Amino acid sequence: MLLFINACVRADSRTKRLADCLLTALGEPVAELRLADVTLPPVDEAFLQKRDQLLAAQDYADPMFDLARQFAAADTIVLAAPFWDLSFPAALKAYLEQINVVGVTFRYTPEGVPEGLCRAKKLYYVTTVGGDDFPEAFGFGYVEALAKRFYGIPEVELIKATGLDIWGAPVEEILCACEEEIQTNHHKKEKRKWK
């Protein structure tokens, strides 16, 4: 199962448009999690206490861990998030706090080193950016570090279109070029058909 984590907000989101292109090219059955439709519990002290108790009892079946179990079980992850304030929407950070669960998405070795427990071999990070200044470290780089260092997902690919809000930018041209690149690089079914 391919898990599509949709952190896009606007109805005519350009990020979602590129993600849809990628999902079509990958041609796998998709389970979509639209963060705008999900109400996540606040990570307050009561939440942390309950989580600690469940983890101490190794009770991973609790609904509190549904999102973490869904993430850990996915074969492929596609994460779509617009570039906001040098990073990504806060809803995505709130989601990541829910799925960072010791014993479900990662565990610690006796030496205290995180070791991934996720099935996915690849995570795609799709984003669009208003300007041309796209420092990767704060948004994409953070998710890449979590994927590789915590979840054990070895391959992380960034798909991006930048400069969309610059005055006079050829928005449609930029998006079409990115879509073409996605289709060329990721059309797995077609590639397999001719092998």
* Region near ligand FMN per CB under 6 A, out of 27-35, 82-90, 98-106, 175-183: 82-90
Asked if 8 is part of the footprint of ligand FMN (rule: CB under 6 A), the reply reads yes
Closest CA relative to residue 150, chosen from 123, 183, 190: 123
C-beta closer to ligand FMN: residue 129 or 178: 129
Q: Determine, following the binding rule CB under 6 A, whether residue 22 of this chain makes contact with ligand FMN.
A: no
Tell me the sheet residues that pair with 115.
Answer: 107
Residues 38-77 that bind ligand FMN (CB under 6 A): none
Interface of this chain with ligand FMN, residues 162 to 181, rule: CB under 6 A:
164-165
In the sheet that 155-161 helps form, which strands lie side by side, from edge to edge? 30-34, 2-6, 76-80, 122-128, 155-161
Does 19 sit near ligand FMN (CB under 6 A)? no
State the minimum distance, in angstroms, from the CB of residue 126 to ligand FMN.
9
DSSP string, 48-76: HHHHHHHHHTT-TTSGGGHHHHHHHH-SE
Tell me, what DSSP letter sits at residue 150?
I
Interface stretch with ligand FMN, choices 42-50, 80-88, 100-108, 135-143 (CB under 6 A): 80-88
Query: What six digits make up the tokens of 61?
Result: 């079946």
> How many Cβ atoms from other residues are within 10 Å of residue 60's Cβ?
15
Measured CA to CA, the distance from residue 100 to residue 95 in angstroms comes to 9
| Minimum gap (Å) between residue 132 Cβ and ligand FMN | 8
Q: In this structure, what are the phi and psi dihedrals at residue 155, rounded to the nearest 5 degrees?
A: -115, 130
- Binders of ligand FMN among 88-127, rule CB under 6 A? none
List binders of ligand FMN among 127-166 (CB under 6 A). Answer: 128-131, 164-165
Residue from the set 82, 116, 139, 152 that interacts with ligand FMN by CB under 6 A: 82
Binding residues for ligand FMN (CB under 6 A) = 8, 10, 13-16, 82-86, 128-131, 164-165
